[in-house]
């Protein structure tokens, strides 16, 4: 192995251990721990998922501050986000049990499915746009999406959207207890 190949291998290997990625692994482990709280320990479940949401903020800040941004980290972050939110909707279904409404049951299926399909679609589009970050929408995106994604969700509509996709299932879990 040449020095150039060794350096390239080391760099790819090192990405796995970037601080933001370690936080992403922690979030995935917290999702697994949260799943064991269901259905008996609903408040513990909520607390763990709130920690997941908080660490979601931290990993992005750490990536930028430590200059440890990577495509792998972007994907890990999206997968951890989707895993947490999917688990939240599963919790709505599990905790509500037989009391679940048709609307809630429908949301428990449609919303996580839409999020996973959207993740796949945005990643395919990013590859087609030469790996341009998925949050940077193109001019062909609908007006509302452009407003939500403006400045990487750092705007009132983007913040409301993020609060809703994390908060709605947790609010439903809380009310179902």
Q: Which residue is catalytic, options 59, 77, 81, 104?
A: 81
Distance between CA 169 and CA 176 in Å, rounded? 10
The phi and psi torsions of 152 (rounded to 5 degrees) equal: 60, 45
10-17 contacts: CB < 8 A, separation 24 or more? 15/68, 15/70, 15/72, 15/73, 16/72
Asked if 45 and 94 touch (Cβ cutoff 8 Å), the reply is: no
**Is 59 known to be catalytic?**
no
**Catalytic positions, written as ranges:** 81
């Amino acid at each position: 192995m040449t020095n150039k190949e060794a350096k390239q291998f080391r760099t790819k290997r090192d990405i796995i251990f970037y601080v933001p990625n370690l936080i992403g692994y922690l979030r995935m482990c917290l999702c697994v721990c949260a799943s064991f709280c269901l259905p008996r320990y609903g408040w513990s479940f909520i607390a763990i998922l709130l920690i997941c949401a908080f660490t979601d903020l931290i990993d992005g800040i750490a990536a930028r501050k430590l200059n440890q941004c990577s495509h792998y980290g972007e994907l890990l972050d999206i997968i951890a986000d989707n895993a947490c939110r999917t688990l939240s909707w599963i919790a709505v279904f599990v905790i509500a049990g037989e009391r679940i409404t048709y609307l809630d049951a429908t949301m428990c299926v449609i919303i996580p499915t839409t999020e996973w399909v959207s993740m796949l679609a945005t990643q395919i589009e990013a590859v087609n746009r030469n790996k341009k970050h998925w949050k940077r929408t193109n001019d062909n995106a609908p007006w509302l999406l452009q407003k939500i994604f403006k400045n990487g969700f750092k705007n009132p509509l983007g913040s409301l959207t993020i609060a809703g996709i994390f908060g709605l299932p947790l609010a439903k879990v809380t009310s179902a207890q």
